[in-house]
Amino acid sequence: MIDIKDLRLRPEIYKANAKKKGRDVSIVDEVLELDAKWRAIKLKADNLRSERNQISEAINAAKKSKDENAAVKLIKKAKEIPGKLKELEGEEKEAQELLGEKISGVPNIMSKRVPLGESEKDNKVEKIYGKPARVSFPVKSHAEIIENLGMADFDASARVAGTGFYYLEGDVALLNQALINYARDFMVKKGFRYVETPLMLKEEVIDRVTDLNDKENQIYMIKDEPLALIGTSEHSLIGRFVGQEIPSAALPVKHTSYSMCFRKEIGSHGLDEKGLFRTHQFNKIEMIVICRPEESEKFYEEMKGITIDIFKGLKIPIRVLKICSGDLGDLKYEQVDIEAYSPRKKAYFEVGSCSNLTDAQARKLGISTIIKNRRITPHTLNNTAIATSRALVAILENNQTKDGSVKIPAVLQKYMDGKKIIKKG
């Protein structure tokens, strides 16, 4: 959510920004009109409250001077104010709610580093790390590999839970746990505080940490309870601070968490395909930062670098994709996706996403801090350290051998009792 005071001062900047994002620029004028209407109603209500106070003082003065006629007239006038004020306060609340709804549609100002474009086809490759290995045998899909190893049962999961779920077992299930432990230890060494979070949040918090589209298409609501399953631990990590004032001495907040995540994935393509690529339930280690405004670009680079280093440690070929203006979410100042190479598809696929939301998310969530005796809105950032199901896809496909076994990345071997290869048996 953008700063309405800044919008009043720089409407043309916000219009130009909205145009670059492919949004209807008329939203800026709509918000300014609603803002003017709300302020006019608020001024009337404030003036009426002031008048009420003045009349109250005048009544006391008239009574002290024993001017009964004046006191009667003033009391009559005072009795008319509550009704008028109630009506104005209703109008004020309605105008404020409509303003709040509309202002959320004004995109956050983008970084100058964001490439211009209309859709995901215009996203730009920033850098490539590693080269795909050359193989002399037919490359299998990750699902085929682990089924042949006897370490996955997608048919049973479909029977008991439906599509989008899985049974993993044996060394592949242990490899999943190794990824969790590897990424957790990596994050802690980078100075992030490890946090165990709730896997369910109140609906009122979900409404603050997600937009309506995500809530309808991604979030599992609990029947007969005002609760929802989290789609990512980012929701719990940042939701912890909704409506809170964070002491300046506590900044930056650098938190990381592992959690099971749950998503409906309505409208997602390929969900009915067998495998781990897109599922309703998956494991992820997430990170958030809440910091002083002048520090957010520094932390953006740090967080992006962490995911890059995690996958470089796994020896997985990856690339960094800069998200263009037309594909950038309204709350975001800048975003990159980290993509791993799939030898099966001969293409890259998303394994992580890093975003700087500057003050837009914190303002929406009511998070504040006081620096030098001035209340300000801090900046927030989030990043996926690793989504293990996607990482498993990358490892299984890139590390497969001709005989169907899978080489375990060296950094994970200590989490698997020194085992170097996964094979059938």
**Going along 346-390, which residue ranges are E strands?**
347-356, 369-371, 374-376, 379-387
Tell me what pLDDT residue 178 has.
98
At residue 213 the predicted structure's pLDDT band, cuts being 50, 70 and 90, is confident
Tell me what pLDDT residue 284 has.
96
Residue 271 has pLDDT above 80, yes or no: no
Give the residue-averaged pLDDT of 389-398. Answer: 97
Tell me what pLDDT residue 269 has.
55
Cβ neighbours of residue 79 under 8 Å, at least 6 residues apart?
none
Give the residue-averaged pLDDT of 256-273. Answer: 77
What is the β-pairing status of strands 379-387 and 347-356?
Answer: antiparallel
Rounded Cα distance between 10 and 320, Å, is 33
Catalogue all structural domains in the chain, each as residue range(s) with its CATH number. 4-103 (1.10.287.40), 120-422 (3.30.930.10)
Give the residue-averaged pLDDT of 30-44. Answer: 96
Tell me what pLDDT residue 144 has.
95
**Comparing 66-70, 175-179, 197-201, which segment has the lowest mean pLDDT?**
66-70
Tell me what pLDDT residue 267 has.
55
Rounded Cα distance between 302 and 385, Å, is 12
Residue found under tokens 């490890």: 194
At residue 66 the predicted structure's pLDDT band, cuts being 50, 70 and 90, is confident
Cβ neighbours of residue 213 under 8 Å, at least 6 residues apart?
none
